[in-house]
């Protein structure tokens, strides 16, 4: 029996359920909490995090499980917990406030609000004891409560003023006089090249996030401007990440970021969205380099997702935790002595050299009061394994993976989000066609069926359909978000281009129409993060900054430009162009914050090539031509069939044999061919 149970016990979010037995009388975000705050005249303590957030666990252990703190919060505040992954729209508003007022941000995000939800003070992690001149969390709570009692009207006035400033910070309006030219791309490429870490790979210093939108853009710009040096920077980065501890060398997949500049020590949590984007980056690297090692990384990631992150019915889970048994990285790390006992002497020597194992270890969990000694994060330190020792290395890895599965696994966040599933759906589809792996294409198709059955509600009588955001344990939520529509649209388009079946294209059109109707701002361009009438938000925000995920506006823009090119429908192209215009100034001033929108601009500046494949869709020649169209690095192209919702010109193109490919630009096409190698050459040379 639990000593405490609060209102979070009936929620579906794994993060909220983690806090269901705190002594804090937590509420979920909603009317029950808001009404209580208004009725009792209390300020709201809003705490935002996610279930695999390491520092969220630390603050829970130190503060939210403390009965003294729980009693104080229950007496003086109405306390609300929010899962940022379920409600990124709520998180965006209050994170913007904290970043604007403190200069920093992160999770856990802890913000104090008036009963009408306006923020007046906030921060991130607060320690249990006074530290470095900062008060303890309880001292902070006491100060806020005293201020609320003594100066409530001043706080309310200050909150109103801060809210007005927040409205200005989040306003997004397009300007007609900002030209969208290749110079924006050239300038951004220069900025990223200057930030390149020549020693370790990556763009920027520690802590090091992969930020796949940036290296993916550098690939695009390198192709546009013929910059072989920029291309080498990204290939170097891909190799460094794949060799580093950020890459799970035994079980596959990538951790969220590295705390150092060398990609060695990760923050061990694994997020679905990171891995989806990294698959796309490594597919690009594979096409550009022609090397198999990048394809192996792609398979390594996707096999991990299929094995450990996929619901029986095809949905993809959200994340795996960094912590196991209260220690960060315990599931993933090894001691020298442990491996010397597990492996044969010959296997141990090879593994020790390959992974750089030492008795001292290379990782200490400084967030724990009693760190485990001698922990080694696995990274590839010496890859020059003699051919005669390769079998020993594989045997060692196999034994280590089997042994690791006996450990207590980190917590799995098994909620299924339409947004992140869209990213991973696209990764599986594109990998399936490029690597010629049917199991990946099958996983993408199965995932789309899951989303359509559980999170999509078709429209009736001419009305657009509705995409909900989260499904877990048999239930979906009632939340609609731009990023869900945009990311899923992106993924469905990848599936269409990989299979050329008409059904995904029809669904893409339905999704796009719904997204435009619910989120698009026709007056100023851009897409709101939430639909009109979302009554639990103090602001409607246009989220256009890339974080760990690309912004909803950027993904929507590129997806709509592609869909317009495939279907020939101007009502898809026009909102995308208006959104690009809205972003023009910021693309020039802050390229790193808008890297994925630079992808969209790069696509828009060209007349994209259309690879139209005609013929018998189930035939081997047809499949070979589709694979050939995907088998070159040509980011500004679309691959399409000549039937279904495609543009009228494509429907006039007919196969001269079992299958024919037409490489077209505008209303002119190269001579059609049924030869896969000729098709690849046409796509490489027709730009």
Nearest 5 degrees, angle CA 349-CA 354-CA 359?
Answer: 65
* Three-class SS of 649-681: HHHCCCCCCCEEEEEEECCEECCCECCHHHHHH
Distance CA 384, CA 605 (A): 44
Position 687 scores a pLDDT of 46
85, 265, 413, 582 from 319: Cα distances, Å:
10, 19, 5, 33
Do 157 and 202 lie in one domain? The reply is: no
Do 91 and 226 lie in one domain? The reply is: no
Position 611 scores a pLDDT of 96
* Three-class SS of 329-375: CCCCCECHHHHHHHCCHHHHHHHHHHHCCCCCCCECCCCCCCCCCCE
Nearest 5 degrees, angle CA 575-CA 577-CA 578?
Answer: 65
In a domain, 184, yes or no: no
Do 81 and 149 lie in one domain? The reply is: yes
Question: What's the rounded mean pLDDT across residues 629-634?
Answer: 96
Position 366 scores a pLDDT of 81
Give the number of other CB atoms < 10 A from CB of residue 180. Answer: 17
Pull the structure tokens for residue 486: 């945009």
In a domain, 534, yes or no: no
**Percent of the chain predicted with pLDDT > 90:** 85
Strand pairing report for 416-417 and 44-49: unpaired
Helices (H) and strands (E) in the chain, counts: 25, 21
In a domain, 672, yes or no: yes
In a domain, 515, yes or no: no
Last residue of a domain, one of 413, 437, 469: 413
Report which DSSP code applies to 64: I
Do 376 and 400 touch, CB atoms closer than 8 A? no
Instruction: Name the 3-class secondary structure at 264.
Output: coil
618-621: long-range contacts, CB 8 A cutoff, minimum separation 24: 619/658, 619/659, 621/657, 621/658, 621/659, 621/674
Position 612 scores a pLDDT of 97
Pull the structure tokens for residue 15: 């993060």
Position 686 scores a pLDDT of 55
483, 566, 641 from 647: Cα distances, Å:
26, 6, 10
Distance CA 308, CA 316 (A): 9
What tens digit of pLDDT does each residue of 200-229 get? 999 999 999 999 999 999 999 999 999 999
In a domain, 62, yes or no: yes
Phi then psi for 258, rounded to 5 degrees?
-105, 140
Do 67 and 160 lie in one domain? The reply is: yes
- Burial degree of 204 (CB within 10 A; 0-12, 13-18, 19+): middle
Residue with tokens 């639909």: 531
Report which DSSP code applies to 43: P
DSSP lists the bridge partners of residue 610 as 638, 664
Distance CA 302, CA 93 (A): 33
- Burial degree of 365 (CB within 10 A; 0-12, 13-18, 19+): buried
The CATH number that applies at residue 69 is 3.40.30.10
Do 204 and 88 lie in one domain? The reply is: no
Distance CA 268, CA 282 (A): 20
**Confidence band for 627, pLDDT divided at 50, 70 and 90:** very high
Do 127 and 218 lie in one domain? The reply is: no
If one compares 677 and 54, the residue with the highest pLDDT of the two is 677
Last residue of a domain, one of 366, 385, 413: 413
Do 213 and 321 lie in one domain? The reply is: yes
Position 174 scores a pLDDT of 55
What tens digit of pLDDT does each residue of 248-303 get? 999 999 999 999 999 999 999 999 999 999 999 999 999 999 999 999 999 999 99
Do 146 and 16 lie in one domain? The reply is: yes
Tell me the whole-structure pTM to 2 decimals.
0.95
298, 378, 383, 398 from 335: Cα distances, Å:
29, 10, 20, 17
Distance CA 28, CA 359 (A): 46
**Percent of the chain predicted with pLDDT > 70:** 99
If one compares 532 and 191, the residue with the highest pLDDT of the two is 191
**Domain that includes residue 33, residue range:** 7-170
Beta-carbon contacts of residue 505 (< 8 Å; ≥ 6 apart): 496, 566, 567, 644, 645, 646
Strand pairing report for 609-615 and 466-467: unpaired
Question: What's the rounded mean pLDDT across residues 659-678?
Answer: 91
Do 222 and 264 lie in one domain? The reply is: yes
> Total structural domains in the chain?
3
Annotate 454-474 with DSSP letters as a single string.
Answer: HTEE--STT---EE--EEETT
Distance CA 662, CA 609 (A): 10
Instruction: Give yes or no for residue 500 having a pLDDT over 90.
Output: yes
CA atoms within 13 A on the CB side of 535: 3
Report which DSSP code applies to 60: I
In a domain, 371, yes or no: yes
What tens digit of pLDDT does each residue of 558-601 get? 999 999 999 999 999 999 999 999 999 999 999 999 999 999 99
**Confidence band for 666, pLDDT divided at 50, 70 and 90:** confident
Residue with tokens 């869900």: 484
In a domain, 600, yes or no: no
Do 254 and 375 lie in one domain? The reply is: yes
Distance CA 95, CA 108 (A): 10
Q: Which of these, 305, 322, 304, 192, lies nearest to 265 by C-alpha position?
A: 322
Residue with tokens 């935002």: 48
189, 214, 240, 591 from 203: Cα distances, Å:
11, 8, 12, 13
In a domain, 541, yes or no: no
Instruction: Give me the chain's average pLDDT, please.
Output: 94
Do 300 and 245 lie in one domain? The reply is: yes
Do 134 and 283 lie in one domain? The reply is: no
What tens digit of pLDDT does each residue of 153-165 get? 999 998 988 888 8
The CATH number that applies at residue 634 is 3.40.30
Distance CA 310, CA 307 (A): 7
Last residue of a domain, one of 354, 385, 413: 413
Distance CA 85, CA 48 (A): 10
């Amino acid at each position: 029996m639990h000593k405490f149970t609060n209102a979070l016990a009936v929620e579906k979010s794994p993060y909220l359920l983690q806090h269901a037995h705190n002594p804090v009388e937590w509420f979920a975000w909603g009317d029950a909490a808001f009404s209580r705050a208004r009725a009792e005249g209390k300020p709201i303590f809003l705490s935002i995090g996610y279930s695999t957030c390491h520092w969220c666990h630390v603050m829970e252990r130190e503060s939210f499980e403390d009965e003294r703190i729980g009693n104080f919060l229950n007496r003086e505040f109405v306390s609300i917990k929010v899962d940022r992954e379920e409600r990124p729209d709520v998180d965006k508003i209050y994170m913007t406030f904290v970043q604007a007022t403190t200069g920093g941000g992160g999770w856990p995000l802890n913000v104090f609000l008036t009963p009408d939800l306006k923020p007046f003070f906030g921060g991130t992690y607060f320690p249990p004891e006074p530290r470095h001149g900062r008060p303890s969390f309880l001292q902070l709570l006491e100060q806020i409560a005293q201020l609320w009692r003594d100066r409530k009207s001043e706080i309310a006035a200050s909150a109103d003023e801060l809210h007005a400033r927040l409205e200005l910070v989040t306003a997004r309006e397009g300007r007609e006089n900002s030209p969208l030219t290749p110079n924006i791309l050239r300038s951004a490429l220069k900025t990223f090249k200057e930030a390149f870490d020549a020693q370790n790979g990556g763009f920027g210093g520690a802590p090091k996030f992969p930020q796949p939108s940036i290296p993916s853009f550098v690939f695009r710009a390198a192709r546009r401007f013929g910059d072989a040096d920029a291309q080498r920077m990204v290939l170097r980065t891909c190799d460094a990440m794949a060799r580093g501890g950020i890459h799970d060398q035994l079980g596959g997949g990538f951790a969220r970021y590295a705390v150092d500049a060398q990609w060695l020590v990760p923050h061990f949590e694994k997020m679905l969205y990171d891995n989806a984007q990294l698959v796309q980056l490594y597919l690009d690297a594979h096409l550009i380099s022609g090397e198999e090692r990048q394809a192996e990384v792609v398979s390594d990631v996707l096999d991990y997702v299929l094995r450990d992150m996929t619901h029986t019915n095809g949905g993809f889970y959200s994340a795996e935790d960094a912590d196991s048994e209260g220690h960060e990285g315990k599931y993933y790390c090894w001691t020298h002595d442990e491996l010397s006992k597990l492996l044969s002497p010959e296997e141990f020597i090879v593994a020790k050299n390959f992974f750089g194992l030492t008795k001292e270890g290379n990782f200490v969990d400084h967030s724990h009061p009693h760190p485990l000694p001698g922990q080694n994060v696995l990274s590839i330190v010496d890859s020059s394994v003699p051919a005669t020792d390769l079998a020993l290395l594989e045997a060692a890895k196999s034994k280590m993976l089997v042994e690791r599965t006996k450990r207590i696994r980190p917590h799995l966040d098994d909620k299924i989000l339409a947004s992140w599933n869209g990213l991973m759906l696209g990764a599986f589809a594109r990998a399936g066609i490029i690597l010629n792996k049917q199991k990946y294409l099958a996983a993408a198709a199965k995932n789309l069926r899951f989303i359509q059955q559980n999170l999509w509600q078709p429209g009736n009588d001419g009305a657009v359909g509705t995409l909900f955001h989260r499904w877990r344990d048999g239930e979906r939520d009632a939340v609609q978000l731009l990023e869900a529509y945009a990311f899923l649209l992106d993924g469905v388009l990848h599936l269409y281009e990989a299979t050329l079946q008409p059904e995904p294209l029809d669904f893409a059109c339905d999704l796009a129409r719904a997204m435009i109707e619910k989120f698009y701002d026709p007056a100023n361009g851009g897409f709101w993060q939430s639909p009109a009438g979302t009554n639990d938000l103090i602001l409607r925000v246009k989220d256009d900054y890339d974080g760990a995920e690309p912004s909803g506006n950027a993904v929507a823009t590129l997806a709509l430009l592609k869909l317009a090119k495939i279907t020939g429908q101007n009502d898809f192209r026009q909102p995308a162009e208006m959104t690009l215009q809205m972003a023009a100034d910021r693309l020039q001033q802050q390229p790193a914050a808008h890297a994925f929108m630079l992808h969209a601009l790069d696509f828009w500046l060209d007349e994209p090539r259309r690879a139209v494949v005609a013929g018998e869709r189930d035939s081997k020649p047809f499949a070979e031509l589709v694979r050939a169209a995907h088998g070159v690095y040509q980011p500004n192209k679309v691959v399409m069939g000549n039937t279904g919702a495609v543009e009228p010109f494509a429907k006039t193109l007919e196969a001269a044999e079992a299958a024919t490919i037409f490489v077209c630009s505008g209303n002119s096409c190269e001579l059609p061919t049924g030869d896969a190698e000729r098709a690849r050459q046409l796509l490489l040379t027709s730009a």
